[in-house]
Chains A and B, each alone.
Chain A
Amino acid sequence: MKMSFRTIALVFGREFRAYFATPLAAVFLLVFLALSAGLAFFAGGFFERGQADLGPFFAWHPWLFLILMPAIGMRLWADERRSGVIELLMTLPVRAHEVVIGKFLAGWAFTAVALVLTMSFWLVTLYLGSPDNGIVVASYIGSFLMAGAFLAISACISAMTKNQVIAFILAAIVSFLLVMSGTNLVLAALRGWAPAFVVDLVQSLSFITNFDRLTRGVLEAPAVILFLSTIVLALWINVQVVDAKKAA
């Protein structure tokens, strides 16, 4: 596959700056910080547990991301269709996959900024006690990978519509299903009638189950592979959707 890294870098630069061109970036970062801290303190019992670890903080990430990543991804393509810029963009001498990758990486880098800003939490636990830093690092990597998978799905869905709200809602629904597929609620409902391998398959695809594994401190290959392959698959579909050359 031919690829121009210059084009990817140009698209990345434009999109990354675009996040900060509107108040969206500030709002997003504030909401993310407030929610992740608030949930860890009030719902996760960060202090009451009396343990210096970030478990209660990371445990909420699948739930936060299933709302917040569609919010980051929804504008990536839907807005181009609505404004008609997609017509200009896709008649430049560039390939669809270069634009898809550039846009995705911009959203992912923005997510990285949000995650880095939460590291004050880590500093607090370091001050209060001695957390297992290996676990914290593994959890951050896991969180970043999972966010990437949610974002790739959101970007892909964003390419299918010119309505950002529809893109957001559909992406949140798909993300919700991927999170829920590991919960007992879903698995119990399946166990009654589905063969065991189907139950196992559904469970193995669950973002929450795989993320939990990573937050236990082991960078397990299956979990890493699940998130990375979700990203690759979603971006591949994204390219196909853009390449289908549909009129807006």
Chain B
Amino acid sequence: MQLVQASGLVKTFSRLRAVDGVSLEVSRGEVVGFLGPNGAGKSTTMKMLTGFLEPDAGTASIAGHDVFADPIAARRHLGYLPEGAPAYGDMTVADFLAFVGRMRGLSSAVLGERLAEMVERVNLAAVWNRPIDALSKGFKRRVGIAQALIHDPEVLILDEPTDGLDPNQKHDMRELISAIAPGKAIVISTHILEEVEAICSRVVIIAEGKVVADATPTALLDAAAVDGKRPTLETVFRSITGSKAA
């Protein structure tokens, strides 16, 4: 079974067709890098995968549950980091994660264990009792990751998890994602290409709302190789999307 399955997703905002027939399948153990220029429809597609946004056409399911017909069941298997890692700024990190955990139906015993694990894994001890409004961008991102992981979901959808982080924090975030990847299906949107090479087992490139490439990073580079010389991923990205999204 594919943990994430989407077919023919279409979304139009007033007259702009933001997403135009995107299909995507992600199985257990895969980390899919969802790439594209700004405004290509990455976030909109992710919002439809999570069921936050209703598509004009197409279907999406998480762990076999249709996100629109059976949203509650689908969302139980989903951890989602929305763009910008929003959180309740007036709450402390501890209170916020406990709130999300309880809203996800975790019992007090399980919640306690999971919170302890989040402190450890996501490295939140230093800010545990600080209000989220007072945190740096890096810590806010980590809190966002922690709330997405609190119930140990099978499917993770992370919208730009490393956006705005410094190189050390980016490195830590990638380590974390690689560490939790086995056993989960993960979709990461980004426009940082080094990230894709570092952690993704597959690359899906989207431009103007359409999927224009779907392959492993190596296959993508091999296909674009000239005289046995592989180009950089950046060159491939630019040649695929550059002409369309000037």
Chain A positions within 8 Å of B, measured between CB atoms, are 6-7, 10-11, 14, 18, 21-22, 83-85, 87-88, 90-95, 245, 247
Closest 8 CB pairs of A and B: A84-B86, A21-B90, A87-B82, A93-B75, A245-B54, A85-B86, A91-B50, A93-B72
| Cβ-defined contact, A18 with B90, below 8 A | yes
17 contacts between A and B (CB under 8 A): A7-B103, A10-B99, A83-B89, A84-B84, A85-B86, A87-B80, A88-B80, A88-B100, A91-B52, A91-B78, A91-B82, A92-B75, A92-B103, A93-B71, A95-B72, A245-B53, A247-B47
| Cβ-defined contact, B86 with A87, below 8 A | yes
With A and B bound together, what is the CA distance between A238 and B28 in angstroms? Answer: 38
A84 / chain B contacts, CB cutoff of 8 Å:
82-84, 86
Interface string of B78-116 (1 = CB under 8 A from A): 101011101111110000000110111100000000000
B41 / chain A contacts, CB cutoff of 8 Å:
none
With A and B bound together, what is the CA distance between A87 and B46 in angstroms? Answer: 11
B100 / chain A contacts, CB cutoff of 8 Å:
88, 92
Number of interface residues of B (CB under 8 A): 31
| Cβ-defined contact, A91 with B103, below 8 A | no
Please pick, from B53, B86, B99, the residue contacting A83 in the complex, using a CB distance under 8 A: B86
Chain B positions within 8 Å of A, measured between CB atoms, are 13, 44, 47, 50-54, 71-73, 75-76, 78, 80, 82-84, 86-91, 99-100, 102-105, 147
| Cβ-defined contact, A14 with B88, below 8 A | yes
Given contacts A91-B78, A91-B80, A247-B53, contact A18 B88 (CB under 8 A): yes
| Cβ-defined contact, B103 with A90, below 8 A | no
Given contacts A247-B13, A247-B47, contact A94 B90 (CB under 8 A): no
A88 / chain B contacts, CB cutoff of 8 Å:
80, 82, 86-87, 100, 147
With A and B bound together, what is the CA distance between A84 and B73 in angstroms? Answer: 23
A83 / chain B contacts, CB cutoff of 8 Å:
86, 89
- Can you name the residue of chain A whose Cβ is closest to the Cβ of B75? A93
